[in-house]
Amino acid sequence: MKKFVLKRVLISCLLLVFVTMIIYGVMRCMPTSYVEQQAMELSKKPGAKSYGEWRDQLNAQYGLDTGIVQGYFTWAGKAVRGQFGDSWYWNQPVTKKFASVIWYSFALALGSFILEIVIAIPAGILAARKQYSTSDYVITVLALIGISLPSFFFATILKYIFAIKLGWFDLYGIVGRMHDQLSPVGQFFDMAKHMVLPTIVLAIVSIGSLMRYTRTNMLEVLNSDYIRTARAKGLSESVVVNKHAFRNTLIPIITLLGGTLPGLFSGAMVTETLFQIPGIGYTSYQCVMQGDIPFVMFYMTFIAILTLLGNLIADILYAVVDPRVRVN
């Protein structure tokens, strides 16, 4: 087991090297005049460093003045030590900005993750138990609609109904206008209130696949021999479903969910941007739009790490949860 995990981790590290190499290569595709122009504009901002300082910092950070391979190792060497340079747009160290925004994204993702599990798994099991019934059809169609919904369209509809027509929520932002006057508890609820709509959007658009996954797996389990045996023994239907079937359905589900755990930190670029939640997604959206290379490089590396981590966790969980699965 240890050997397996170690091997996977090493492979992931190797993959990460290649992924970051590609990301670095893409960034190097940007015309140099673009970088210079950006640096020039940056230096015009009030309180910013001078053009020369920006350019020198960039060269030092990314090895822009050297070849692409050497430049990559310059950058990677610093990145390994956690030095990602200063964000152009935010005018502060990338890691500092990252630390200040990531928890918004995490809270948002965690909320929708819980909502998703609470709705999708029972619904999927219900659909599987009553296969071809009306409720099965309704759940299947709803799941497919959820999968097919463009998140920006759904978010706009929610905003239109709940923020504009009903006026229950604010259109944008994470805090209300009176946020500063509120007590700490009030501030918490103020922020929670602003998270409601984005959480619903995130949950609804991702609920469908988990629901269908649950249903498919539950059907497979319900059609298996040991369930027939359990029924033949004369166990009550609830025991059959809740004890024998449900636990076995959980194996693939936990594997899947475990794989998505790192994704909780990845931020939801579209949804956060639409609701202007200052999480990692919205922040990096702004950075991309402003051509903030240091932050975007960091964000892409971060996402790549999360993806690799997700795969790793899924693989390991698969082996851990199901003893039948041989490590190799």
Partner 1 sequence: MDNNTEKKDMKLDSEQRVRVLSPGMLVAKRFLRNKLAIAGVVIIVCMFLFAFVGGLLNPYSQSQVFYTTDEMKKDYAGATEISDYQIYAADGVTLPSDAFSKTILAATTQKYVFETKDGSQLGLGKVSDSSYIMYAIDGSASASLADSEEYQGAAAAGQNVFTKDGKSYLFTEQDGQLDFYTGTEMAVVCQLSFTGYTAETQFSYDFYHNAIVAMADDETGFTADDSTYTIKQEGKSAAMVEDADGKDYAYISNMNINSVVDGVFLTPAFKEAVVAAIEDDKEEFTAEDKDGNDETYLLSQKDGQYTIKRYQETKVVDSYASPSKAHWVGTDANGMDLLARLMYGGRISLLIGFVVVAIEVVLGIIVGGIAGFFGGWVDNVLMRFVDIVYCIPAIPLYMILGSIMDYYKVSATGRIYMLCIVMSVLGWVGIARIVRGQILSLREQEFMIAVEATGISIRRRIFRHLIPNVIPQLIVFATMGLGDVILSEATLSFLGLGIKYPAASWGSIINAVNDSYVMTNYVFVWIPAGILILLTVLAFNFIGDGLRDAFDPKMKR
39 binds partner 1, rule: CB under 8 A: no
283 binds partner 1, rule: CB under 8 A: no
- Binding characters for partner 1, 235-274, by CB under 8 A (x = yes): ----------------------------------xx--x-
CA pair distance 64, 80, nearest whole angstrom: 18
Q: For partner 1, give the closer residue by CB, 33 or 181.
A: 33
Give the gyration radius of the chain's Cα atoms. Answer: 24
196 binds partner 1, rule: CB under 8 A: no
CA pair distance 187, 266, nearest whole angstrom: 25
30 binds partner 1, rule: CB under 8 A: yes
- Binding characters for partner 1, 201-230, by CB under 8 A (x = yes): --------------xx--x-----------
- Least distance in Å: CB of 47 to partner 1? 25
SS3 at position 86: strand
Q: Are 136 and 130 in contact (CB under 8 A)?
A: yes
Q: Are 194 and 168 in contact (CB under 8 A)?
A: no
Q: Are 88 and 95 in contact (CB under 8 A)?
A: no
- Least distance in Å: CB of 150 to partner 1? 5
SS3 at position 33: helix
CA pair distance 80, 42, nearest whole angstrom: 26
| Binders in 137-156 for partner 1, by CB under 8 A | 137, 140-141, 144-145, 147-153, 156
Cα-Cα-Cα-Cα torsion 266, 268, 270, 271, nearest 10 degrees, comes to: -170
- Interface residues with partner 1 (CB under 8 A) are 11, 14-16, 18-19, 22-23, 26-27, 29-31, 34, 131, 137, 140-141, 144-145, 147-153, 156-157, 159-160, 164, 171, 215-216, 219, 269-270, 273, 284-285, 288-289, 291, 296, 299-300, 303-304, 307-308, 311
